[in-house]
């Protein structure tokens, strides 16, 4: 007799790679289809043994996880997993997996794009041309250039290293801050973020979100970065004290900012939208079809490995697998 297919709950949009990869291999319950979520979950809660999460905007906390007494694994889309209480999951024997590495190069490309756009004002120049202003006179020379800058990386993990490699190829000096020196990294290390901010003129933020990084880019750090300072945030909106950043941009404590992420995205503060000396991306880091498909595929492969009784492919450090 064929083994029974395990019950898996899909939280989030029905992305074709995820649904196509899971259906047929597991019994898939799609929460998004439910008009009444509580009524939908009640009869299946005792059967669900794994959850697939298709977007990082879906919050998965203890209250949700404890509805499923047989829950063994949560396979989440995205390398960042600050939307999941992984500590609680680990303490309750639930393995959480994410989608690292398959997006490193794409996100690093976006980071360099955002840095160049911010330093050399490319989006502003594009708006200038479309408004017909070039017919009157050329776009003003930019005050900022990458040629005299040093980038302080806040975070030097998988994606941080891919960004640093690109900066090296651009001839830009790199230093970094993280909680401890990173293995195999020879760039100058700063144990204190504020000291690094004082020594550089450009910060590139690529750390995880969550409690340990909440508002780490605060008024003190922005003041240390100074009036030539450019902040690029590729990490999470929660890492930057957004009101402090808006104030620092308004009073020119720093020069400019390039932001891919926001505290309450997709809501972006009106003050930022109205500023011409910032560049704002709608969380584009990994947003190509190919990279998103690779991330979706890894969500599927983590579930299929679990369903086959194998070790998860990419468990997060808070939830070491037992089998």
Residues recognised as catalytic: 236, 265, 283
For residues 80 and 155, which CB has a smaller minimum distance to ligand 8YV in the complex? 80
Using CB under 6 A as the binding rule, whether residue 159 contacts ligand NAP is answered as: yes
From candidates 90, 113, 123, 157, binder to ligand NAP by CB under 6 A:
157
Residue 159's binding partner among ligand 8YV, ligand NAP, none (Cβ under 5 to 8 angstroms by kind) is ligand NAP
| Between 152 and 209, CB nearer to ligand NAP | 209
**Crossing angle of helices 104-120 and 158-169, rounded to 10°:** 50
Select 99 or 202, whichever has its Cβ closest to ligand NAP.
Answer: 99
Buried residues in 171-182 as b, exposed as e (16+ CB within 10 A): ebebbbbbeeeb
Q: Is 235 in the site for ligand NAP (CB under 6 A)?
A: yes
Q: Give 286: exposed, middle or buried? Use CB within 10 Å, 0-12, 13-18, 19+.
A: buried
b/e burial code for range 90-114 (CB count within 10 A of at least 16 → b)? beeebbbbbbbebbbbbbbbbbbbb
Cα 296 to Cα 311: distance, rounded to the nearest angstrom: 19
- Secondary structure letter of residue 213 according to DSSP: G
Candidate ranges 130-138, 173-181, 222-230, 293-301; the one touching ligand NAP (CB under 6 A): 173-181
Which residue number has the CB closest to ligand 8YV? 80
Q: How far is the CB of 323 from ligand NAP (least distance, A)?
A: 24
* CB-count exposure of residue 206 (10 Å: 0-12, 13-18, 19+): buried
Minimum distance, C-beta of residue 80 to ligand NAP, in the bound complex (Å): 3
Interface with ligand NAP, residue 156, by CB under 6 A:
yes
Pick one of ligand 8YV, ligand NAP, none as the site partner of residue 83 (Cβ within 5 to 8 A by kind): none
| Pattern 264-303, ligand NAP, x by CB under 6 A | -------------------x-xx-----------------
12, 21, 100, 237: which one binds ligand NAP (CB under 6 A)? 100
- Residue 56 binds which entry of ligand NAP, ligand 8YV, none, CB below 5-8 Å type-dependent: ligand 8YV
Distance CA 92, CA 118 (A): 44
Q: CA-CA distance, 225 to 30, in Å (whole number)? A: 47
Range list of H helices, 208-274: 219-225, 242-250, 270-274
Tell me how far, at minimum, the Cβ of 56 lies from ligand 8YV, in Å.
3
Helix (H) or strand (E) holding 294: helix 289-307
158 touches ligand NAP (CB under 6 A): yes
Give the pair of three-digit tokens for residue 106: 């794409």
Smallest gap from residue 317 Cβ to ligand NAP (A): 8
Reported as half-sphere exposure (CB side, CA atoms, 13 A), residue 263 has a value of 17
206 makes contact with ligand NAP (CB under 6 A): yes
Q: Identify the CA nearest to 21 among candidates 322, 268, 304.
A: 304
Q: Note the residues at the interface with ligand 8YV (CB under 6 A).
A: 55-56, 78-80, 103, 283, 285-286
Residues that bind ligand NAP (CB under 6 A): 79-80, 100, 103, 107, 155-160, 178-180, 182, 206-209, 212-213, 234-236, 260-261, 283, 285-286
């Amino acid at each position: 007799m064929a083994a029974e297919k395990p019950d898996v709950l899909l939280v989030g949009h029905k992305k074709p790679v995820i649904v196509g990869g899971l259906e047929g291999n597991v019994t898939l319950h799609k929460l998004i289809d439910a008009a009444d979520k509580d009524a939908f979950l009640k009869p299946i809660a005792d059967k669900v043994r794994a959850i697939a999460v298709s977007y990082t905007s879906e919050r998965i906390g203890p209250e949700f996880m404890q509805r499923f007494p047989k829950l063994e694994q949560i396979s989440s889309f995205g390398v960042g997993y600050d939307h999941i209480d992984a500590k609680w999951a680990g303490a309750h024997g639930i393995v959480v997996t994410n989608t690292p590495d398959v997006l490193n190069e794409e996100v690093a490309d976006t980071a360099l794009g955002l840095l160049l756009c911010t330093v050399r004002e490319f989006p502003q120049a594009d708006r200038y041309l479309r408004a017909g202003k070039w017919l009157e006179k050329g776009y003003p020379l930019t005050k900022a250039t990458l040629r005299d800058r040093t980038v302080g990386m806040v975070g030097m993990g998988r994606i941080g290293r891919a960004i640093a490699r690109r900066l090296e190829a651009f001839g830009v000096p790199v230093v970094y801050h993280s909680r401890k020196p990173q293995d195999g990294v020879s760039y100058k290390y700063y144990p204190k973020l504020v000291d690094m901010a004082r020594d550089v003129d450009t910060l590139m933020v690529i750390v995880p979100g969550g409690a340990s990084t909440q508002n780490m880019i605060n008024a003190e750090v922005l003041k240390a970065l100074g009036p030539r300072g450019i902040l690029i945030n590729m990490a999470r909106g929660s890492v930057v004290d957004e009101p402090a950043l808006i104030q620092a941009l308004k009073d020119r404590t720093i020069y400019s900012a390039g932001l891919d992420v926001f505290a309450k995205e997709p809501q972006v503060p009106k003050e930022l939208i109205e500023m011409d000396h910032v560049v704002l991306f709608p969380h584009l880091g990994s947003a190509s079809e190919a990279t998103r498909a690779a991330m979706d595929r890894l969500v599927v492969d983590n579930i299929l490995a679990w369903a086959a009784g194998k070790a998860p492919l990419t468990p997060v450090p808070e939830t070491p697998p037992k089998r």
